[in-house]
Structures are given as structure tokens and as C-alpha cells.
Amino acid sequence: MSLALAAAAPAQEAGPVLTLDDAIRLALQRNKNLHVVSFERPISRANLLVARGQFDPAIVGGRTTSFSPEEYTLGLAQVGLVPLYHYRQDSYSLGLSGQLPLGTTYQVYESATNDRFSYYGYPSDFQAFGGVQVTQHLLKGFGLDANLAQVRIAKANRAISDCDYRQSAINTVTNVAIAYSNLQFAHDALDVARRTRELAAQLLSDNEKNYKVGSISQSDVIQARSQVAALEEPVLVYERSVRDAENSLRELIGEDMFLEDKPLFALVPVEAPEVTIDRRADLALALQRRPDYQTARLGIVQNRATEAAARNAILPQVDFVGGYGYNGFASTLSASRQQVDQRDNLSYSAGLQVTIPLTFAVGRGTLRAARLTREKAEADLRRLEADIALAVATAEGQMETTRKRVIADEAAFALANKALEAEEKKKRAGASTTLAVEQVQQNLASIEFNVSAAHASERQAVATYYQQLGTTLEHYKVRLADE
């Protein structure tokens, strides 16, 4: 019955050919995790624009009006008369203001003030000014460390986002290579199961013929049938494994529908490339190329910028405040502005403002936390270096071991084939039994399975080796945007 069911099963519809390069290309275009990570790059660039924008000058203008009634007796209270006078002021200003990376804030502007007082019959008095006002931090807030900290952090974040995207791309390509290898192995395992079933079916056919001519007993036929029936289950299991492995690969290349009736991919078998191991050079290359290591180093750059700003913030605040310009005073706006344009009335000011906290507790605590955070990041970088060294050594060892496994399993497979041929000859000569042949067949199937597993492990070990070195994209000739 098992043979009949197997024969009646419909053949799997041939699907599209999918090479490993095709799978990698599709994953880089459509992988959902990689797509999510890709948003961090424009976000970090936008945040850098924000950090740099604090030094952009701004046009500042304003108009204010104030009005107040006031009582002035002027000796009239003696006769019970308290007249009410009104005071009104209109102010206008327009200028350019901003700050510089050295800790300078500036304002270049013109202003005009119109005063009117009813006691004088509402005359218009105009005061105009044109000039510049500057505040320069001399201790706290002075220098690039204090004022460029956010820019430096944002620049590092931009570089970190590039590293994170590159790491995500490396992981995606590695996962695709491993998933492709797993699918190839699942197909190989299914082929082994089917060939083993075919060998058992051929043995059953030979036993039935020999039984008809009376050269063997019926028990040999029953034994062979039992073996054929038992070998149906591995075929079903590996058919499921093929579908599951393909679904895993489909998800990596961006698909989100996993229908059972969808044709399976036709794969182009991939062999593990020859790789020359140089342990010292490999470790140096990994420290140079791995994005996660570069991210950790950039994190220390951010911590140092934060610490430098915190060190400056613990200083007393001493500010120079100064101004320089020209005044104008007249009964009309044009006349007062003309005085400013002609530089008739010089006006300047200079002074210091000092602010000294009594305890410096906030500054000292901030600096201590920043210093410890930086030291922690440096210690974590050293830990990461050790982890990378171990990971590279492990990947190298896995490659060497899988190569030896392939050689050993292929040699064992060749001997197992010869052993099966010899056992079949013995059975045909009547010197062996059905059970003995089935045992040799099972041994051959087990060794053939080991060969496929060893090749899959070698392919995956090479992919992992490239991942640990950070050279995956170069090996698969992948060039990311903006590189």
C-alpha cells in the first residue's frame, strides 16, 4: 500500500529558478527588518541638521505698544481738580541674532521707540538705535567642547546609523546564505530518503521474483515490504522540511504569503568556496571592518564629547556683555534714523556678569557620571574585542572542522557504496540475507545524509566566517547606497 500511495502522489510543480545571488538581491530590496533599520539613517541626518541649526542666524523683529493713564495733581488738588494724563509708547525692532561655536551670542539690530505724553499735548518723541550687542562666555560655556557637544554626538549618531545599517545588511545576507544552504540541505536529505526508499523497493522487487522461483522464503519478502513501509515516514518528514526551509527563505527575501500549493524554488547548488585562514590577519581585519566594533568606538566618541561639555559646565559662569552703536533722538522717525545713519551719537557699553554656584553639586555630579560612563564604554570595548577574537577563532575552527568532516564523510560514503555492492552480490549468491542488505542500505543512507550535512555545515561555516570578519558584503559583491 505504501508503494501504491507513493506512486499515486502528484509530482511537485516545477517552480522558478532561484540562485543565491538572486535571493541576496531580493532580500536587500525587500527584507522587512532591513527596511525598518534603513529609517535610522535619514533620522540621524535630520537630527544632525537640528544640532547644526543652533548656529543658524535668525531674523528677529517685534512691535510692542504700552498705554497707561496716570494722575498728576500739579497743585490742582487744592481746588479738588485731579486731571488724568495718558502715557503711550510704541517700540519697533528688527535685526539678526544668533550664536557662535565659541560661546558668543550676538544681535545686530535697529530699533525705534515713539513716546507720547498727553501732558505735553501728545508730542511724538522718537529714539532710534542701530548697532550690535554681544555676550561672550569666558569660562562656563566658552569653547568648542562646550558648544559643539550636541553636533559631535549627532555626527557620531549619523555614523552609527550607517554602521547599524551595514551590520543589518551583513546579518541579512548571512541569514539568506544560511537559509539557502538549509534549503539545499533539505532537498539533499529528501533525495537521500527517496533513494533509500527506492533501494528498499528494488530489494523488495528482487525478493518477490526470487520467492516466485522458490530461492528464498516468504519471510524475506515480508521483511522487505516492512522496510519499504517504514521508509515512507522519512520521505514525508523531509518533504515537510523542504517546505519549511523554503518558507524561511521566502520570509528573508520579503514575502509574507506562505501557501502550500506554491511551486517550490529550483535551486542552483552552491559549493563552499576555498578560504585561506590567517589568524592574526583575520582578527585585525575583523577589528577594522566589523560594524558593531566601529559602533562601540563611535559610542566612546559621544561619551568623550559629553564628558568635555560636563567638564566645562563645572566652571563658574563669567560673561562679557557689550554693545556698540549709535543713537538718534528727534521729533520724527526719519530724523532720528538719520542721526543713526550719520553716526552722530555714539553709544557703547561693556561689563561682566558673574554667576558662582555655592556647591557645584549639579556640575560635579554630571561630570562624575559622564566620566564613569566613558570609562564603562572603554571597558566594554575591550570586552567586545575579546568577544570578537573568540568569535573569529571559533569561526575559523568551524571551517577547518567542517572541511575535515566533508573529506571523512565522502571517504566513508565511497566505502559504504562498495560495501552495499558486495553485500548485494553475496545475497544474489545466497550468502547473505535481506536483513543484512537492509542494514547496509541504512548505513549507506546515514553516511550519505552525513555527507550532505557536512557540506551544509561547511557552507554555513564560511558564511559565518565572513560575518565575523565583517566582509560579507564584499564577498557577495554587495554595495550599499551612499557608500
pLDDT, mean of residues 432-458 = 95
The answer on pLDDT for 166 being more than 60 is yes
Tell me the C-alpha distance between 215 and 432, whole Å. 13
pLDDT at 282: 96
Contact 60, 94 (CB under 8 A): yes
DSSP string, 450-483: HHHHHHHHHHHHHHHHHHHHT-HHHHTT---TT-
The answer on pLDDT for 41 being more than 60 is yes
The answer on pLDDT for 175 being more than 80 is yes
Confidence of residue 333 (pLDDT cuts 50, 70, 90): confident
| Strand pairing class (125-137; 317-330) | antiparallel
pLDDT at 8: 32
The answer on pLDDT for 292 being more than 90 is yes
According to the CATH classification, is domain 17-48+166-285+379-475 in 3.40.50.2300?
no
Instruction: Name the β-bridge partners of 323.
Output: 133, 349
pLDDT, mean of residues 430-450 = 93
pLDDT at 426: 93
What residue ranges do the domains of the chain occupy?
17-48+166-285+379-475, 58-73+80-149+305-368
For the chain, percent of residues with pLDDT exceeding 90 = 80
Q: What is the pLDDT of residues 341-372, one digit of tens each?
A: 999 899 999 999 999 988 889 999 999 999 99
Q: CA-based diameter of the chain, in Å?
A: 153
**Sequence-distant (≥ 6) Cβ neighbours of residue 266 within 8 angstroms:** 14, 15, 16, 17, 18
Tell me the C-alpha distance between 182 and 457, whole Å. 9
Instruction: Name the β-bridge partners of 98.
Output: 106
Contact 468, 275 (CB under 8 A): no
pLDDT at 120: 53
Task: Identify the weakest region by mean pLDDT among 62-76, 265-279, 453-467.
Answer: 62-76
pLDDT, mean of residues 258-263 = 89
Q: What is the pLDDT of residues 192-208, one digit of tens each?
A: 999 999 999 999 999 99
Higher pLDDT, 482 or 178: 178
Confidence of residue 6 (pLDDT cuts 50, 70, 90): very low
DSSP string, 321-374: EEEEEEEEEESSHHHHHHHHHTT-EEEEEEEEEEE--SS-HHHHHHHHHHHHHH
Q: How many helices (H) and strands (E) does the chain have?
A: 14, 8
The H or E element that residue 117 is part of is strand 104-117
Q: What is the pLDDT of residues 293-306, one digit of tens each?
A: 999 999 999 999 99
Confidence of residue 101 (pLDDT cuts 50, 70, 90): very high
Contact 192, 452 (CB under 8 A): yes
Q: What is the pLDDT of residues 241-250, one digit of tens each?
A: 999 999 999 9
Average pLDDT, the chain: 91
The answer on pLDDT for 394 being more than 60 is yes
Task: Identify the weakest region by mean pLDDT among 28-32, 254-258, 330-334, 471-475.
Answer: 330-334
Collapsing DSSP to helix, strand or coil, 90 comes out as strand
**Per mean pLDDT, which of 81-90, 124-133, 163-172 is the most reliable?**
163-172
